Amino acid sequence: MKRVGVFVCHCGINIASTIDISKVVEDLKNYPGITFIQDYKYMCSEPGQALLKEKIKAEKIDAIVIAACSPTLHENTFRMAVKSVDMNPYNCEIANIREQCSWVHNNISEATEKAKRIIKSVVEKALLDEDLEPVRVPVTRKALVLGGGIAGIQSALSIANSGYEVILVERQSSIGGRMAQLSETFPTLDCSQCILTPKMVDAGQHKNIRLMTYSELDDISGFVGNFKVKIRQKAKYVDWEKCTGCGLCIEKCPKKVPSEFDQGLGKRKAIYTPFPQAVPNKPVIDCENCTYFKTGKCRLCEKVCPFDAINFDETDSFIEEEVGAIIVATGYDVYPVLNMSEYGGGKIPDVIDGLTFERILSASGPTGGEVRRPSDGKIPKEIVFIKCVGSRDPEHHYPYCSKICCMYTTKHAMLYKHRVHDGQPYIFYMDVRAGGKGYEEFYQRAQEEDKVVFLRGKVSKVYQDDDKVVVCGIDTLSGSNVEIRADMVVLAMAIRPSKGIEELAQLLKISIDQNGFLTEAHPKLRPVESLSAGIYLAGCAQAPKDIPDTVSQATATAAMISNLFSQEYLLHEPIITGVDEELCSGCGLCVAVCPYDARKTNREKGVVEVNEILCEACGACAAACPSGAAQQRNFTDTQLSNMVKAILAE
């Protein structure tokens, strides 16, 4: 049998004043399983640790129990100490007789008896503890970033600057994302493209970043440090190796379609780049709208291309890569105005969403930055902004706050006023949430300098009357009904995780919350990790957030990944739950309760197999196993049962 040594700490008087330590030592001296027992004033001190090491050698001890403070304090200290004298650190156990005994009881005899029970039960555990080694896994030092918006760009650049390779995958033909569509950014009003495009160019030219635009993740297998990914490169019909981005094809293309980048307000060609500063600045052919693909005639782009870059026969291709970590930065979509028929969404052309208004305000937008309404191009003299449309509305739409709308609507009203000096902006709001550096001051400025009228209340109805858009609402601060005959209405629509997030989450085996956003590992302490090791979250895919928060989170993911990649091996807690193949019937009950997909049924062998790297050691499977085949290392059924018995024995 194993030789267990017990060391009882006085912790000065912290333990010794309520627990009769000499009685504990005396009574447990002959407890079966205890080879050696000694007390000491401060076990964690240098002399205490020296005593421990000396006795381990002298008494030939192969497992120890330190009866002292909570394991959260010194478990690691003692594990390191025993390791230095060649004892496996997983044979070092802590009996918590301070926080859970001496500090919470006053009666010395009761506390002493309880301390004995605690020590005995931990001795029972130590008797059956196995030598364990942390699971070592190699790591591929290359990251995959999904999404080329500001979140993806920022994380890719940060990782690349740490010296690691990055594959940046974006489904549009250019990186830039939503931020590229914005006019100016709150609260400083700097032009969005002016601060974004240098970063886009950096990402495009960085020696450690491989850009894969017009691409999507197709398949994934593996685990942290060792993912295998398959990326689909969609057919572009333009050989980007040959293309110089001269733009002649775009100029000559006869087919015009609404531009997605301009939210449908402007036009683009069937061969196009989404916007002039695109990175890479090379076109793709939209085969659904291309005249050649539809009628079999045209090929004008092919004729004019000086570099012979057009290839109508191109098909989707697949690239397989190995990566060690993944960042999901897939961003957001705007909840369509069609869902707001009571506000005329989709029926009244001058009722638009906030992102469309960004394009109207943008100097590179369809109106060249002049505020003109979509229906007739007239400059609106009265404009109404409505906040919380689709957000904070659990009964009809979404319960959460979209977070950015308070600030961007304030910005919209301000920018409108800067362009239409004699115009009047109104904002209907539920609350103004201006938490953020410089945000409250920005909101005050909109009221004081730009004379934006803030009306606290909900809008009941929006309807068209001649060329006016009439907004009926209530101002709850004065208690009066309000009717504004506006020229234009802008709805601050809820923001939603971008299209395809469910499929992507399923593919990556990460979870999404009740509102469809990706779930972080812990809401406070692990806000940038998913629950699957090696997969990180950045930007609005995780929750609505503004640019500074997105950039912070994206940089944090890069720090996490640099940390991961700087390790020679990944070490993983070894107290995982294995499978005894002789006992396992392959019933799969354990597979169903595993939150990490660490267990899989091998149909051929009729047993469950465990991926030790994915197992996080909760032990849920061990409790679910009807045959005892699943045993958590150092928390086996026998150990727990012996611990229970030791507590209850007279």
Partner 1 sequence: MFEPKIVAFFCKWCTSAGADLAGTSRLTYKPNITGIRVMCSSRVDPEHILDAFKNGADGVLIGGCHPGDCHYQSGNYQTLKRVKLLKKMMTDLNINENRLRLEWISAAEGKRFAEVVDAFTEEIRKLGHIHYTTL
Q: Any contact of residue 70 with partner 1 (CB under 8 A)?
A: yes
Question: Minimum distance from CB of 613 to partner 1 (Å)?
Answer: 16
Q: Which stretch binds partner 1 (CB under 8 A): 49-57, 112-120, 249-257, 467-475?
A: 112-120
Q: Any contact of residue 624 with partner 1 (CB under 8 A)?
A: yes
Question: Minimum distance from CB of 70 to partner 1 (Å)?
Answer: 5
Q: Of 488, 354, 362, 377, which Cα lies nearest the Cα of 423?
A: 488
Contact 328, 508 (CB under 8 A): yes
Q: Any contact of residue 597 with partner 1 (CB under 8 A)?
A: no
Between 35 and 511, name the residue whose CB sits nearer to partner 1: 511
Q: Any contact of residue 542 with partner 1 (CB under 8 A)?
A: no
**Sequential DSSP letters for 478-492:** TTEEEEEEESEEEEE
Between 70 and 339, name the residue whose CB sits nearer to partner 1: 70
Q: Which of 48, 71, 89, 345 binds partner 1 (CB under 8 A)?
A: 71
| Crossing angle of helices 150-161 and 192-205, rounded to 10° | 40
Q: How far apart are CA 590 and CA 27, in angstroms?
A: 42
Between 492 and 535, name the residue whose CB sits nearer to partner 1: 535
Q: Any contact of residue 575 with partner 1 (CB under 8 A)?
A: yes
Between 379 and 531, name the residue whose CB sits nearer to partner 1: 531
DSSP state of 438: T
- Total site size for partner 1, rule CB under 8 A: 45
Question: Minimum distance from CB of 457 to partner 1 (Å)?
Answer: 34
Question: Minimum distance from CB of 515 to partner 1 (Å)?
Answer: 14
Q: Which stretch binds partner 1 (CB under 8 A): 40-48, 52-60, 83-91, 637-645?
A: 637-645
Tokens of 185: 């950014």
Q: Any contact of residue 648 with partner 1 (CB under 8 A)?
A: yes
Q: Which residues touch 75 (CB under 8 Å, ≥6 apart)?
A: 92, 94
Tokens of 527: 């806000």
Nearest-Å Rg of the Cα atoms of the chain is 32
Q: Any contact of residue 107 with partner 1 (CB under 8 A)?
A: yes
Tokens of 224: 């942290």
Between 281 and 542, name the residue whose CB sits nearer to partner 1: 542
Helix (H) or strand (E) holding 248: helix 248-252
Between 101 and 334, name the residue whose CB sits nearer to partner 1: 101
Between 235 and 623, name the residue whose CB sits nearer to partner 1: 623
Q: Which stretch binds partner 1 (CB under 8 A): 315-323, 388-396, 431-439, 638-646?
A: 638-646
Q: Which of 81, 118, 415, 533 binds partner 1 (CB under 8 A)?
A: 118
Between 349 and 588, name the residue whose CB sits nearer to partner 1: 588
DSSP state of 11: T
Q: Any contact of residue 104 with partner 1 (CB under 8 A)?
A: yes
Q: Any contact of residue 12 with partner 1 (CB under 8 A)?
A: no
Q: Which residues touch 80 (CB under 8 Å, ≥6 apart)?
A: 89
Q: Any contact of residue 647 with partner 1 (CB under 8 A)?
A: yes
Q: How far apart are CA 476 and CA 460, in angstroms?
A: 13
Q: Which of 117, 210, 252, 468 binds partner 1 (CB under 8 A)?
A: 117
Q: How far apart are CA 486 and CA 416, in angstroms?
A: 14
Q: How far apart are CA 37 and CA 8, in angstroms?
A: 8
Q: Helix, strand or coil for residue 589?
A: helix
Between 243 and 328, name the residue whose CB sits nearer to partner 1: 328
C-alpha of 71 from chain center: 31
Question: Minimum distance from CB of 617 to partner 1 (Å)?
Answer: 6
Q: Any contact of residue 593 with partner 1 (CB under 8 A)?
A: yes
Helix (H) or strand (E) holding 153: helix 150-161
With b for 16 or more beta-carbon neighbours within 10 A and e for fewer, the 217-253 pattern comes to beebebbbbbbebebbbbbbbbebeebeebbebbeeb
Angstrom distances, CA of residue 165 to CA of 60, 219, 376, 551, 618? 50, 20, 50, 20, 34
The residues that bridge with 382 in the sheet, in sequence order, are: 424
Question: Minimum distance from CB of 540 to partner 1 (Å)?
Answer: 22
Subset of residues 78 to 97 that bind partner 1, contact rule: CB under 8 A = 96
Question: Minimum distance from CB of 585 to partner 1 (Å)?
Answer: 17
Question: Minimum distance from CB of 619 to partner 1 (Å)?
Answer: 3
Q: How far apart are CA 632 and CA 639, in angstroms?
A: 10
Binding site for partner 1 (CB under 8 A): 70-72, 96, 98-101, 103-107, 110-111, 113-114, 117-118, 121, 511, 522, 531, 575, 593, 595, 616-620, 622-624, 632, 635, 637, 640-641, 643-645, 647-649
